[in-house]
């Protein structure tokens, strides 16, 4: 089932907002889909059924029990860059522009569709549309992901991420030059008040910790390595903006007038360190930054 089952406490509203508008801003569901769920009594406000236009306020409790019926991701013959594979896991180098798993509005052509075609076995800890998926990266972020082939491996890998023993290293090109050579950003991240589909640094929310190291400096740009200690939605992109140096090409958190004609942010998950779930052997994987990323870096080196 494609579902959204959760209880949400409304916060950070400046004024009352329609129930359907609010839910559309914090989910990937359309207004019409949301209205159908509300009409069916699957979105309660403080335990009571309300209409789509009901005005909600801060501290209201929303109980969601959305479902769109039985949906299974189908195998698709989409090429994959498989960096490593054994009986327990696979390491995939995801290209920019590929969504990790199906969601409302994007049921096909995802990484999961490709995984189902290339692998006979995938973990089933998640639902039918996220087999094998232990962690995600954004559609327009490229790089390494670990895929679980069985439930035992999945639980081990998920625990490593939760316990911060699975290290994820990223490389990004930032606008301008960071003042320090290295540092740590520690903030809270939550939904943006102005745009509920964006994340923002706030006074409350979930703690987010990112370590950064400047690798190279250019005229007006810098190449930076990021290491995640936590894994919040859009964390590196939000923290880069918070530092005053957003990622080049970022259409959501970047500068308005982008100098280069890019398809998305220059952010690449280039290194992954983990402990193998069966052998307990420590393993490390790396992949080069994509050509479009490297070509721009090469141009900046000449300026």
Report the CATH number at residue 130: 3.30.2350.10
Is a pLDDT exceeding 90 seen at residue 300? yes
* Euclidean distance between CA atoms 290 and 26, whole angstroms: 31
| Mean pLDDT, residues 279-298 | 97
Q: Are residues 86 and 51 in the same domain?
A: no
Choose between 138 and 33: higher pLDDT. 138
**Does a structural domain hold residue 273?**
no
**Does a structural domain hold residue 151?**
yes
Task: Choose the final residue of a domain: 120, 136, 163.
Answer: 163
Q: Are residues 207 and 129 in the same domain?
A: no
Q: Are residues 182 and 246 in the same domain?
A: yes
**Does a structural domain hold residue 54?**
yes
Look at residue 71 in the predicted model and tell me its pLDDT.
Answer: 60
Catalytic site residue 140? no
Domain that holds residue 63: 3-67
pLDDT digits (tens, 9 = 90+) for 62-84: 998 887 655 678 899 999 999 99
Percentage with pLDDT > 90 across the chain: 74
* Euclidean distance between CA atoms 97 and 139, whole angstroms: 5
Q: Are residues 153 and 63 in the same domain?
A: no
- CB neighbour burial string for 57-73, b if at least 16 within 10 angstroms, e if fewer: eeebebebebeeeebeb
Mean pLDDT of the residues in the chain? 92
Q: Are residues 79 and 99 in the same domain?
A: yes
Look at residue 12 in the predicted model and tell me its pLDDT.
Answer: 79
Is a pLDDT exceeding 50 seen at residue 2? no
Q: Are residues 39 and 104 in the same domain?
A: no
**Does a structural domain hold residue 289?**
no
Of 13, 7, 6, 25, which is closest to residue 55 (Cα–Cα)?
13
Look at residue 105 in the predicted model and tell me its pLDDT.
Answer: 64
Lowest mean pLDDT, pick from 26-35, 185-194, 288-297: 26-35
* Euclidean distance between CA atoms 300 and 229, whole angstroms: 30
pTM as predicted? 0.80
Number of domains in the chain: 3
Is a pLDDT exceeding 60 seen at residue 1? no
Of residues 138, 151, 263, 291, which has the active-site annotation? 138
Report the CATH number at residue 18: 3.10.290.10
Task: Choose the final residue of a domain: 67, 99, 123.
Answer: 67
Q: Are residues 15 and 89 in the same domain?
A: no
| Mean pLDDT, residues 81-105 | 93
Q: Are residues 127 and 156 in the same domain?
A: yes
Look at residue 49 in the predicted model and tell me its pLDDT.
Answer: 94
Of 192, 175, 176, 185, which is closest to residue 249 (Cα–Cα)?
175
Q: Are residues 88 and 40 in the same domain?
A: no
CB atoms within 10 A of CB 197: 12
Task: Choose the final residue of a domain: 29, 49, 67.
Answer: 67
Strands 61-67 and 43-45: antiparallel
Look at residue 70 in the predicted model and tell me its pLDDT.
Answer: 55
């Amino acid at each position: 089932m494609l579902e959204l089952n959760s209880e949400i406490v409304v916060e950070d509203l400046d004024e009352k907002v329609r129930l359907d508008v609010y839910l559309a801003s914090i989910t990937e569901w359309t207004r019409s889909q949301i209205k159908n769920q509300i009409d069916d009594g699957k979105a309660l406000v403080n335990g009571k059924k309300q209409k789509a236009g009901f005005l909600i306020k801060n501290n209201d409790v929303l109980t969601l029990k959305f479902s769109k019926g039985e949906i299974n991701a189908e195998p698709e013959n989409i090429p994959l860059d498989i960096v490593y594979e054994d009986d327990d896991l696979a390491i995939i180098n995801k290209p920019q522009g590929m969504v990790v798993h199906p969601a409302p509005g994007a049921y096909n052509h995802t990484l999961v569709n490709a995984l189902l075609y290339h692998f006979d076995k995938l973990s089933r800890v998640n639902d039918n549309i996220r087999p094998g998926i232990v962690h995600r990266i954004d559609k327009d972020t490229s790089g390494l992901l670990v895929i679980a082939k069985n439930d035992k491996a999945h639980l081990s890998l998920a625990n490593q991420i939760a316990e911060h023993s699975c290290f994820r290293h990223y490389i990004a090109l930032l606008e301008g030059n960071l003042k320090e050579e290295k540092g740590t950003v520690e903030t809270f991240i939550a939904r943006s008040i102005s745009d509920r589909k964006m994340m923002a640094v706030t006074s409350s929310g979930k703690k987010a910790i990112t370590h950064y190291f400047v690798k190279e400096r250019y005229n007006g740009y810098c190449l930076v390595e990021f290491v995640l200690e936590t894994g919040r939605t859009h964390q590196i992109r939000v923290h880069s903006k918070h530092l005053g140096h957003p990622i080049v090409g970022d259409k959501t958190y970047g500068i308005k007038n982008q100098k280069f004609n890019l398809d998305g942010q220059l952010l690449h998950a280039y290194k992954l360190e983990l402990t193998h779930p069966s052998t307990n052997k420590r393993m490390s994987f790396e992949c080069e930054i994509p050509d479009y990323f490297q070509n721009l870096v090469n141009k900046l080196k000449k300026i």
